[in-house]
Amino acid sequence: MVVTPLMWASWDRYKSLNQHLWLTPIEWNIAKRRLEYHPISKMLIPYLTISFFLLPFHIFCCLSLLFFQLYGSLRMSWLDVSRAGGMLAMATTTLAYESLYLFKGENMVRMANNIITLDQSLCSYGEVLKTKPAKYDSLGIALNAMIILPSASQYLIGIAGMYFKLDPVYLVQKYVSPLILEAWNSGRDVATLENYQDFSLSEICWLIARSSQIITTAQACRALPWMDVMTTLLVHLVLQCIERLDSASERILLQSQGRVERYFGRYSALKIIFLVSAVETGALVSIMMAMGMILSIMCNFTSVKLYGTIPTMVYVSCTLVGVLIQVFVHVMVPMAVNVYEMGKGVAEKWKGLLGRSGNKKYLVRRVKSIKVLGLYAELFGFKMFRCQKSTKRRYYYAILEYTCTALLSLDASWFM
């Protein structure tokens, strides 16, 4: 596990492509090579307005559509129901990420900078990895693509959504607004909506409300890839630190007690970073795995079942998003699992070296006092599971099982 310059270039490219946009709580400083946290201030007013006013407004629109559909007040087509559900999943994920950026961003930045500093100290300490460089840095290319593609199309996606009438505000205008007007005018001798003098004004208001999707889509295209790229690189750095410790264990544990103490001190520093940021990392693991499964199932179903039923551009977009999600899942889940598996392997290696050490009593105490590293899925202080080898198999099986269930349960004619 080696972090390549192309992987670091994805962070630089994120900063350069988004420097013309509004400020966000977590930014990458290219000159200092560190993440920076910006607390709430006047500079964050555009960000706060978009993320915590416009975005919840669109979530409310999606929820109202699904609520009225669930209780039988609306008769939406399955295609519109799936649109509302997909947009709700994307908007909820974006809002969860933005909440982590704003309220837990300081701890996240501190954790990331500490990992970067620890990796640099291990590199200068002499634990050089003897890894054969790959001919093509596929992960680095994927990380850069995850930054470039959404940034290049962030406004186009919102405009296309308005043109094809895929935004939740249009669905509210189409389904919920007539329902509310009918209930309001029930039993009253009033003019129809078309005869109102302010009908054109209401159309303008609806158009403005629909246009807000362009800004929220731009923010989603900025927040979602940044979180994915940032976590991928940080987990890769953690794996690189573990591999450096593993490669140096045999020649250091058999040396003087001072060097052994410094060696265990670096491992303890990595463990402390995990403990201090347990809430943030646990929430990230939970959100990413849950939303990755939901969006993967929805995109897989759309790609297989709805060919020729939905607009071509929507079908192609869902297919591309599904492919990107699958790539992300196949990259991130094994990396999250490897944190525990590699940490457990290092601990087992330490136990095997105890018999060859001259200071066996000291090493036995040190090895027993150190816990194995690992990533946990955690919400509100409750640990649900640890990312280990069995987690990967169960996660892939769950995606496959629920995708097959959806394909067998829903017919394509329902979406016409």
What percentage of the chain reaches a pLDDT higher than 90? 40
* Pure H helices in 71-104: 78-103
pLDDT value at 11 more than 90: yes
For the residues 48-75, what does the mean pLDDT come to? Answer: 91
H/E segment holding residue 122? helix 105-125
pLDDT digits (tens, 9 = 90+) for 90-127: 899 999 999 999 999 999 999 999 999 999 888 755 54
Judge whether 288 and 387 are in contact, CB under 8 Å.
no
Of 203, 109, 147, 185, the residue nearest 7 (C-alpha): 147
Highest mean pLDDT among 150-159, 224-233, 303-312: 224-233
For the residues 252-275, what does the mean pLDDT come to? Answer: 80
Dump the DSSP string for 315-355: HHHHHHHHHHHHHHHHHHHHHHHHHHHHHHHHHHHHHHHGG
> What local confidence, expressed as pLDDT, does residue 415 receive?
60
H/E segment holding residue 24? none
Question: What residue type is 64 in one-letter code?
Answer: S
> What local confidence, expressed as pLDDT, does residue 74 receive?
83
Contacts of residue 25, defined as CB under 8 A and 6 or more positions apart, other chains included, come to: 37, 38, 39, 44, 47, 101, 102, 105
For the residues 160-179, what does the mean pLDDT come to? Answer: 87
For residues 246 and 94, the model is more confident at 94
15-24, 60-69, 250-259, 310-319: the lowest-pLDDT one: 250-259
What span, in angstroms and rounded, lies between the C-alpha atoms of 278 and 80? Answer: 39
Residue 154, classified by CB atoms within 10 Å of its CB into exposed (0-12), middle (13-18) or buried (19+), is buried
Structure pTM? 0.87
> What local confidence, expressed as pLDDT, does residue 193 receive?
46
For residues 404 and 193, the model is more confident at 404
For the residues 71-85, what does the mean pLDDT come to? Answer: 83
